Amino acid sequence: MSKYVTVINNLNFLKLTKIAEYLPGYMEAQKQNNLSLIDILLELTNKELEFRNERAFKVNQTVAALNGEKTIESFDFEFQPSINKFEIMDFSTLRFVENKENIIFVGSSGVGKTHLANAIGIEAIKQRISTYSTPFAKLIDNLLLAQKENRLEKALKNYCKYKILIVDEIGYLPIDAQGANVFFQLVNRKYENSSMILTTNQPFSKWGEIFSNNTIANAILDRLLHHSHVINITGPSYRMKKIINLEGKEEKTSQ
Protein backbone atom coordinates (compact mmCIF):
# COMPACT_ATOMS: atom_id res chain seq x y z
CA MET A 1 0.00 0.00 0.00
CA SER A 2 1.41 3.43 -0.95
CA LYS A 3 2.09 6.02 1.75
CA TYR A 4 -0.59 8.21 0.18
CA VAL A 5 -3.26 5.50 0.49
CA THR A 6 -2.17 4.84 4.08
CA VAL A 7 -2.58 8.55 4.92
CA ILE A 8 -6.08 8.58 3.40
CA ASN A 9 -6.98 5.40 5.30
CA ASN A 10 -5.62 6.85 8.56
CA LEU A 11 -7.62 10.05 8.08
CA ASN A 12 -10.80 8.08 7.48
CA PHE A 13 -10.08 5.83 10.46
CA LEU A 14 -9.68 8.95 12.60
CA LYS A 15 -12.98 10.20 11.13
CA LEU A 16 -11.25 13.22 9.59
CA THR A 17 -13.29 12.59 6.48
CA LYS A 18 -13.34 16.15 5.15
CA ILE A 19 -9.54 16.34 5.35
CA ALA A 20 -9.36 13.02 3.47
CA GLU A 21 -11.79 14.38 0.87
CA TYR A 22 -9.97 17.68 0.29
CA LEU A 23 -6.38 16.42 0.57
CA PRO A 24 -5.94 15.46 -3.13
CA GLY A 25 -7.13 18.91 -4.27
CA TYR A 26 -4.78 20.69 -1.87
CA MET A 27 -1.85 18.55 -3.00
CA GLU A 28 -2.50 19.78 -6.56
CA ALA A 29 -2.87 23.36 -5.32
CA GLN A 30 0.41 23.05 -3.42
CA LYS A 31 2.27 22.14 -6.61
CA GLN A 32 0.85 25.09 -8.51
CA ASN A 33 0.86 27.78 -5.81
CA ASN A 34 3.78 26.68 -3.69
CA LEU A 35 1.70 26.59 -0.49
CA SER A 36 3.43 25.92 2.82
CA LEU A 37 2.57 22.87 4.93
CA ILE A 38 1.04 25.19 7.54
CA ASP A 39 -1.17 26.89 4.91
CA ILE A 40 -2.46 23.51 3.79
CA LEU A 41 -3.03 22.22 7.32
CA LEU A 42 -4.86 25.42 8.21
CA GLU A 43 -7.17 25.11 5.19
CA LEU A 44 -7.81 21.39 5.72
CA THR A 45 -8.50 21.65 9.45
CA ASN A 46 -10.84 24.60 8.79
CA LYS A 47 -12.77 22.45 6.29
CA GLU A 48 -13.13 19.69 8.88
CA LEU A 49 -14.28 22.13 11.59
CA GLU A 50 -16.77 23.82 9.27
CA PHE A 51 -18.27 20.45 8.43
CA ARG A 52 -18.50 19.42 12.08
CA ASN A 53 -20.10 22.71 13.11
CA GLU A 54 -22.71 22.38 10.38
CA ARG A 55 -23.44 18.80 11.41
CA ALA A 56 -23.73 19.74 15.10
CA PHE A 57 -26.04 22.62 14.16
CA LYS A 58 -28.37 20.27 12.24
CA VAL A 59 -28.46 17.72 15.08
CA ASN A 60 -29.11 20.44 17.70
CA GLN A 61 -31.79 22.01 15.53
CA THR A 62 -33.61 18.67 15.32
CA VAL A 63 -33.24 18.01 19.06
CA ALA A 64 -34.48 21.52 19.86
CA ALA A 65 -37.47 21.03 17.52
CA LEU A 66 -36.74 24.29 15.69
CA ASN A 67 -37.77 25.19 12.16
CA GLY A 68 -34.72 26.10 10.06
CA GLU A 69 -36.76 28.33 7.77
CA LYS A 70 -38.16 30.66 10.41
CA THR A 71 -35.09 32.82 10.92
CA ILE A 72 -34.28 36.48 11.62
CA GLU A 73 -33.28 36.80 7.95
CA SER A 74 -36.63 35.50 6.71
CA PHE A 75 -38.63 37.85 8.98
CA ASP A 76 -40.06 40.90 7.24
CA PHE A 77 -39.68 43.69 9.81
CA GLU A 78 -41.26 46.24 7.47
CA PHE A 79 -44.52 44.32 7.57
CA GLN A 80 -44.68 44.58 11.37
CA PRO A 81 -43.56 48.12 12.37
CA SER A 82 -44.68 47.67 16.00
CA ILE A 83 -41.61 45.44 16.43
CA ASN A 84 -38.35 47.22 17.20
CA LYS A 85 -35.87 45.46 14.91
CA PHE A 86 -32.90 46.60 17.02
CA GLU A 87 -34.37 44.96 20.08
CA ILE A 88 -34.77 41.66 18.20
CA MET A 89 -31.22 41.97 16.85
CA ASP A 90 -30.05 42.48 20.42
CA PHE A 91 -31.85 39.26 21.46
CA SER A 92 -30.05 37.46 18.67
CA THR A 93 -26.72 38.32 20.35
CA LEU A 94 -28.00 36.06 23.17
CA ARG A 95 -27.05 38.62 25.80
CA PHE A 96 -30.37 37.88 27.53
CA VAL A 97 -29.23 34.29 28.11
CA GLU A 98 -26.12 35.48 29.97
CA ASN A 99 -28.39 37.67 32.12
CA LYS A 100 -30.90 34.81 32.61
CA GLU A 101 -33.70 37.00 31.32
CA ASN A 102 -36.94 35.95 29.66
CA ILE A 103 -38.55 37.17 26.46
CA ILE A 104 -42.33 37.20 26.13
CA PHE A 105 -44.02 37.84 22.80
CA VAL A 106 -47.61 39.00 23.20
CA GLY A 107 -49.98 39.48 20.29
CA SER A 108 -52.87 38.07 18.35
CA SER A 109 -52.68 35.17 15.93
CA GLY A 110 -50.38 35.40 12.90
CA VAL A 111 -48.33 38.44 13.95
CA GLY A 112 -45.05 36.48 14.01
CA LYS A 113 -44.62 35.42 17.65
CA THR A 114 -43.73 31.81 16.92
CA HIS A 115 -41.50 32.85 14.01
CA LEU A 116 -39.46 35.23 16.18
CA ALA A 117 -39.18 32.83 19.12
CA ASN A 118 -37.96 30.16 16.70
CA ALA A 119 -35.55 32.60 15.02
CA ILE A 120 -33.88 33.48 18.33
CA GLY A 121 -33.67 29.75 19.08
CA ILE A 122 -31.87 29.22 15.76
CA GLU A 123 -29.33 31.94 16.68
CA ALA A 124 -28.79 30.18 20.02
CA ILE A 125 -28.17 26.82 18.35
CA LYS A 126 -25.63 28.50 16.04
CA GLN A 127 -23.77 29.55 19.16
CA ARG A 128 -24.17 26.06 20.65
CA ILE A 129 -26.44 27.26 23.43
CA SER A 130 -28.70 24.39 24.49
CA THR A 131 -32.27 25.15 23.44
CA TYR A 132 -35.56 23.32 23.44
CA SER A 133 -38.87 24.38 22.01
CA THR A 134 -42.29 23.01 22.91
CA PRO A 135 -45.92 24.02 22.50
CA PHE A 136 -47.43 24.93 25.88
CA ALA A 137 -50.19 22.29 25.69
CA LYS A 138 -47.66 19.52 25.02
CA LEU A 139 -45.43 20.70 27.87
CA ILE A 140 -48.33 20.60 30.32
CA ASP A 141 -49.44 17.16 29.08
CA ASN A 142 -45.91 15.82 29.53
CA LEU A 143 -45.53 17.28 33.01
CA LEU A 144 -48.92 15.95 34.12
CA LEU A 145 -48.11 12.50 32.78
CA ALA A 146 -44.75 12.59 34.57
CA GLN A 147 -46.54 13.57 37.80
CA LYS A 148 -48.97 10.68 37.39
CA GLU A 149 -46.06 8.29 36.90
CA ASN A 150 -44.13 9.67 39.89
CA ARG A 151 -41.31 11.13 37.80
CA LEU A 152 -42.21 14.83 37.85
CA GLU A 153 -38.90 15.75 39.48
CA LYS A 154 -36.95 14.13 36.64
CA ALA A 155 -39.14 15.75 33.98
CA LEU A 156 -38.72 19.20 35.55
CA LYS A 157 -34.95 18.72 35.72
CA ASN A 158 -34.94 17.71 32.07
CA TYR A 159 -36.68 20.92 30.97
CA CYS A 160 -34.41 22.97 33.22
CA LYS A 161 -31.20 21.65 31.68
CA TYR A 162 -31.68 23.87 28.62
CA LYS A 163 -30.29 27.38 28.70
CA ILE A 164 -33.32 28.46 26.66
CA LEU A 165 -36.73 26.85 26.94
CA ILE A 166 -39.18 28.11 24.34
CA VAL A 167 -42.82 27.66 25.33
CA ASP A 168 -45.09 28.49 22.44
CA GLU A 169 -48.78 29.34 22.43
CA ILE A 170 -49.69 29.99 26.03
CA GLY A 171 -53.37 30.82 26.26
CA TYR A 172 -54.88 29.17 23.22
CA LEU A 173 -56.51 26.63 25.51
CA PRO A 174 -57.13 27.08 29.25
CA ILE A 175 -55.58 24.52 31.60
CA ASP A 176 -56.85 23.15 34.90
CA ALA A 177 -55.44 23.72 38.39
CA GLN A 178 -53.15 20.68 38.22
CA GLY A 179 -51.69 21.87 34.91
CA ALA A 180 -51.22 25.36 36.34
CA ASN A 181 -49.46 23.89 39.35
CA VAL A 182 -46.87 21.91 37.35
CA PHE A 183 -46.22 24.94 35.12
CA PHE A 184 -45.68 27.06 38.22
CA GLN A 185 -43.15 24.50 39.48
CA LEU A 186 -41.26 24.69 36.19
CA VAL A 187 -41.27 28.51 36.09
CA ASN A 188 -40.18 28.63 39.73
CA ARG A 189 -37.20 26.39 39.03
CA LYS A 190 -36.13 28.28 35.98
CA TYR A 191 -36.51 31.64 37.72
CA GLU A 192 -33.09 33.34 37.86
CA ASN A 193 -31.44 30.12 36.64
CA SER A 194 -32.00 30.07 32.90
CA SER A 195 -34.02 31.81 30.21
CA MET A 196 -37.42 31.19 28.72
CA ILE A 197 -38.96 32.55 25.56
CA LEU A 198 -42.74 32.53 25.72
CA THR A 199 -45.43 33.40 23.23
CA THR A 200 -49.00 34.21 24.13
CA ASN A 201 -52.08 35.53 22.40
CA GLN A 202 -53.56 36.69 25.72
CA PRO A 203 -52.74 39.88 27.64
CA PHE A 204 -51.41 39.21 31.14
CA SER A 205 -54.69 40.46 32.60
CA LYS A 206 -56.32 37.33 31.14
CA TRP A 207 -53.80 34.85 32.51
CA GLY A 208 -56.03 34.14 35.52
CA GLU A 209 -58.51 32.63 33.06
CA ILE A 210 -55.83 30.58 31.25
CA PHE A 211 -54.63 29.06 34.52
CA SER A 212 -58.13 28.76 36.00
CA ASN A 213 -56.83 30.57 39.11
CA ASN A 214 -55.78 34.19 39.71
CA THR A 215 -53.38 33.46 42.57
CA ILE A 216 -51.32 30.92 40.66
CA ALA A 217 -51.39 33.06 37.50
CA ASN A 218 -50.03 35.98 39.53
CA ALA A 219 -47.31 33.81 41.05
CA ILE A 220 -46.29 32.60 37.58
CA LEU A 221 -46.31 36.14 36.12
CA ASP A 222 -44.45 37.54 39.11
CA ARG A 223 -41.48 35.25 38.42
CA LEU A 224 -41.64 35.38 34.63
CA LEU A 225 -41.79 39.16 34.46
CA HIS A 226 -39.16 39.95 37.09
CA HIS A 227 -36.25 39.82 34.59
CA SER A 228 -37.95 39.95 31.25
CA HIS A 229 -38.43 41.70 27.95
CA VAL A 230 -42.07 41.94 26.91
CA ILE A 231 -42.65 42.48 23.21
CA ASN A 232 -46.19 43.54 22.38
CA ILE A 233 -46.89 43.01 18.71
CA THR A 234 -49.83 45.05 17.50
CA GLY A 235 -50.38 44.63 13.82
CA PRO A 236 -52.09 42.59 11.15
CA SER A 237 -51.68 38.84 10.76
CA TYR A 238 -48.99 37.93 8.25
CA ARG A 239 -51.33 35.20 7.07
CA MET A 240 -53.54 38.04 5.78
CA LYS A 241 -50.64 39.62 3.87
CA LYS A 242 -51.69 38.19 0.51
CA ILE A 243 -55.25 39.40 1.00
CA ILE A 244 -54.02 42.85 2.08
CA ASN A 245 -51.76 42.97 -0.99
CA LEU A 246 -54.60 41.96 -3.25
CA GLU A 247 -56.83 44.64 -1.77
CA GLY A 248 -54.03 47.17 -2.25
CA LYS A 249 -53.75 46.21 -5.90
CA GLU A 250 -57.48 46.40 -6.38
CA GLU A 251 -57.56 49.87 -4.88
CA LYS A 252 -54.81 51.06 -7.19
CA THR A 253 -56.46 49.66 -10.33
CA SER A 254 -59.83 51.18 -9.38
CA GLN A 255 -58.31 54.67 -8.95
Ligand X SMILES: Nc1ncnc2c1ncn2[C@@H]1O[C@H](COP(=O)(O)OP(=O)(O)O)[C@@H](O)[C@H]1O
**71 counts as binding ligand X under rule CB under 6 A:** no
**Would you count residue 118 as binding Mg ion (CB under 5 A)?**
no
Of 146 and 170, CB closest to Mg ion: 170
Say if residue 49 is exposed, middle or buried (CB neighbours under 10 Å; 0-12, 13-18, 19+): exposed
Binding window for Mg ion (CB under 5 A); candidates: 33-41, 64-72, 111-119, 211-219 = 111-119
Distance of CA 121 to the CA centre of its chain: 2
Nearest distance, CB of residue 143 and ligand X, angstroms: 22
Integer angstrom CA distances of residue 122 from 112, 126, 203: 15, 6, 26
Sort 105 into a burial class: Cβ within 10 Å, 0-12 / 13-18 / 19+.
buried
Among 51, 70, 181, 219, binds ligand X (CB under 6 A): 70
Stretch that binds ligand X, among 6-14, 72-80, 129-137, 247-255 (CB under 6 A): 72-80
> 230 - beta bridge partners?
104
CB of 33: closest distance to ligand X in angstroms?
Answer: 44
Report the residue from 22, 75, 132, 184 that binds ligand X according to the rule CB under 6 A. 75
Nearer to ligand X, 76 or 176 (CB): 76
Window 89-118: contact mask with ligand X (x via CB under 6 A): ------------------x-xxxxxxx---
State in angstroms the smallest separation of the CB of 110 from ligand X: 5
Nearer to ligand X, 60 or 200 (CB): 200
Whether 171 and 210 have beta carbons less than 8 Å apart is answered as yes
Give the separation between CA 14 and CA 23, rounded to whole angstroms. Answer: 15
Q: Is 174 left (phi over 0), alpha (psi -120 to 50) or beta?
A: beta
**Binding of ligand X by 82 (CB under 6 A):** no
How far apart, in Å, are the Cα atoms of 253 and each of 22, 202, 233, 244, 247?
57, 38, 31, 14, 10
> According to the binding rule CB under 5 A, does residue 114 interact with Mg ion?
yes
Count residues binding ligand X (CB under 6 A).
16
Stretch that binds Mg ion, among 112-120, 138-146, 176-184, 244-252 (CB under 5 A): 112-120
186 with 156: CB under 8 angstroms? Answer: yes
Size of the site for Mg ion (CB under 5 A): 1
DSSP state of 198: E
In the complex, which residue's CB is closest to Mg ion?
114
Q: For ligand X, what does the binding mask look like between residues 183 and 202, x meaning CB under 6 A?
A: ----------------x---
3-state secondary structure of 102: strand
88 in Cβ contact with 103 (< 8 Å): no
Contact residues toward ligand X (CB under 6 A) are 70, 75-76, 79-80, 107, 109-115, 199, 238-239
